[in-house]
Amino acid sequence: MDQVKAVVLRAAGINCDMETENALRLAGAQAQRLHINRLVENKNLLDGFHILVIPGGFSYGDDVAAGKILANQIKHHLYESIRKFIDDGKLVLGICNGFQVLVKAGLLPGNGSGNSQKDVTITNNDSGKFEDRWVYLQPQTGRCVFINKDQRIYLPIAHGEGKVVTDSVESLRQLQDGGFVAFKYVDKDGNEGPFPVNPNGSVCSIAGLTDTTGRVMGLMPHPERFVYHTQHPHWTRLPNAGQGDPDVSGTIFNNAVNYMKQNF
């Protein structure tokens, strides 16, 4: 494939679409932003893309619950189109509000996991307030094409409703045993812990989920906000500050683009 084409979904209240478009372009994709209304009007537009990203922000003001209104739009107007997109071997990524949307639309964990949006949801942080900090993430599965299994990464979070919960111990067991947990919150040494290591109280420190294919992923932290070494909060104190910090968050976007080049 000569050119991977990515689409970044837009809707009222989304405010990370431009940064996400930039991150995809840095990874080598031909990226553009597209309003959800255009996709609802012409569902065949998705056929022209290889990667769909639902970015962060506060879609529709999170007036009902974070991501719920946009999730309902997808469920009622675009669910079959996005399922076909996935079944065709393409990639879907949800970041922060986009992760909330994928879960509440039933696209994560989804696809035969035994879990649905009724079994897994994302709700208010245990702290009762908006959390804006940097966190370490440890990959939990080798199935997901977006991540490198053994590479711990450091990313910023910015959310008020990021707590992943399940309706039962059995649902949680299915997530863990089935390899649906993409990332966990950890400390710099890779250990799970209470707040602030786990910034929102997510069950078992879950920070991201994937599906059975490994080609759909959602995560609460923002990889699009760390694509230049100068965005690292301590970049001037890093050993190779003059050369730049390794582009660890960009790896998520790079992996997506490289996967499509090699497999589609």
pLDDT digits (tens, 9 = 90+) for 152-192: 999 999 999 999 999 999 999 999 999 999 999 999 999 99
For residue 178, the tally of other CB atoms under 10 A from its CB is 18
Query: Which residues, other chains included, contact 192 with Cβ-Cβ below 8 Å and sequence gap of 6+?
Result: 184, 185, 186, 198, 204, 205
Name the catalytic one among 16, 161, 224, 232: 224
Beta strands 91-95; 216-219: pairing state: parallel
Name the catalytic one among 96, 144, 159, 232: 96
Domain containing residue 236: 5-263
CATH of the domain at 208: 3.40.50.880
The pLDDT, as a whole number, for residue 237 is 82
- Does residue 115 carry a pLDDT above 50? no
The pLDDT, as a whole number, for residue 162 is 97
- Does residue 118 carry a pLDDT above 80? no
Active site residue 159: no
pLDDT digits (tens, 9 = 90+) for 18-65: 999 999 999 999 999 999 999 999 999 999 999 999 999 999 999 889
- Tokens describing residue 218: 């959602």
The number of distinct structural domains making up the chain is 1
Name the catalytic one among 50, 159, 222, 232: 222
Reported as a pLDDT band with limits 50, 70 and 90, residue 112 is very low
The pLDDT, as a whole number, for residue 248 is 57
pLDDT digits (tens, 9 = 90+) for 204-256: 999 999 999 999 999 999 999 999 888 889 888 876 655 444 555 679 999 99
> What is the C-alpha to C-alpha distance for residues 163 and 205, in angstroms, rounded to an integer?
9
Nearest Cα neighbor of 210 from 154, 139, 162, 263 is: 139
Active site residue 224: yes
